[in-house]
Amino acid sequence: MRQTINRITLFFFAMILVVSPFSWSKAHAADSYKSLDLYFPTDIDGHWAYDTLDNFVNADLLNGYSLGNGEVALKPNHPITRAEFVAILVQATGLHSSTQGKSFSDVKAGKWYAESIRIASSLGVVGGVSSTEFGPDLPITRGDIAVMVVRAFSDTVEFKGASKTFKDVLNYYAASAITKASQAGIVSGMTTTTFQPFAKATRAQAVVMLERALQLEQTELPETSELTAIASTATKSEIQAMAEHKYDQLSVTYATYYTGYQLSSNFTSLEDITSAVDEETTMDIEMLSQPNFTVIETSNRLAVLEAEGGKMKVTIHSGTEQQEETVSMDGLYKLKKMNDNSWKIYAILPYEE
């Protein structure tokens, strides 16, 4: 499970509580970013698709259902509707089009899914359940997902390799797509011999298929130097602003280089730090060694970097008390390509020590 705040902040608050237990109170989250609670669904720990679900939530590609108490549930084993899947597909792939899509009588203008369906239908990625209806609220089948994924990634994924033979995939419109998707490893069967193409797809199954396709995109890879420069510049800018106690500058750095979970985590930590720091309590940071960034995974829209060797010294002064700790910056940095073609960091996962 991810930490809700970074190690610097954890150390900072531990020291504050030791030397001055009543010197601060948690600031309310601002409207410019999502509450951290939304990035910690209550029902995915231990799930077979946890890593994928967690990754999509971090990247703002998957939202949960409100439980009414500030928490959310993803309902990973529940069916996913046709509208929900198309919305996630369009967002994750960055599909765009200015062309008018198909006209469906059950897709009203202004509905939250209308624009996604317009884009996907105009590109030939989706069709309707009939010549006039899309069926936005109907559960999507596993076969239909295979069709949409193959169409959406037809120009960016090579569908090659040994296909799986499923005895229940008959000669119907999705058969070819299921074969292609199985060749690329995007889909697998419910058993060794069955695919269950007409079964309702669960939210977890849909997201896993989509993530596999995204990871296979290798046609427009970012330059390694571009990705490492983003992580390095973001880290240096953040540490410099904190070292100089220029906390206002941190907001600019966060908005420039971060998105998703990491943006919310950073801003929440910043509000907590600035509410705790006063004339009696200060935090000093010294960079001991810069982290070295290496790209370990990359595709057209997703990348993972590894940070190694970075260390900083954090010193907390409160009255006559002083505490310090050396903090490791080793871990994984996850980035995604934004719709404006820039890359931003959506999750930093520190290594356990």
Is residue 249's pLDDT more than 90?
no
Distance CA 345, CA 60 (A): 12
* Mean pLDDT (the chain, rounded): 88
What's the confidence (pLDDT) of residue 30? 40
8 A C-beta contact, residue 274 and residue 10:
no
State whether residue 316 is helix, strand or coil.
strand
Q: Which of 321, 322, 290, 286 is nearest to 8 (CA)?
A: 286
Is residue 98's pLDDT more than 60?
yes
8 A C-beta contact, residue 71 and residue 37:
yes
Q: Tokens 């006559």 map to which residue?
A: 320
8 A C-beta contact, residue 278 and residue 319:
no
Give me the mean pLDDT over the 90-118 stretch: 95
Sign of the CA dihedral running 44, 48, 51, 57: negative
State whether residue 335 is helix, strand or coil.
strand
Cβ-Cβ contacts under 8 Å for 95 (sequence gap 6 or more):
89, 119, 120, 123, 125, 152
What's the confidence (pLDDT) of residue 317? 83
* Residue-wise pLDDT tens digits, 114-161: 999 999 999 999 999 999 999 999 999 999 999 999 999 999 999 998
Paired tokens of 68: 């009414």
What's the confidence (pLDDT) of residue 18? 39
State whether residue 311 is helix, strand or coil.
strand
* Residue-wise pLDDT tens digits, 298-318: 999 999 999 999 999 988 887
Q: If you write DSSP's letter for every residue of 128-196 in order, what string do you get?
A: -SSSS---TTSBPBHHHHHHHHHHHTTTT----SPPPP-TT--SSTTHHHHHHHHHTTS---SSSS---
Give me the mean pLDDT over the 75-98 stretch: 97
Q: How many residues does the chain have?
A: 353
Task: Identify the DSSP state of 65.
Answer: E
* Residue-wise pLDDT tens digits, 9-20: 544 444 443 333
Secondary structure element (H or E) that encloses residue 213, with its range:
helix 203-216
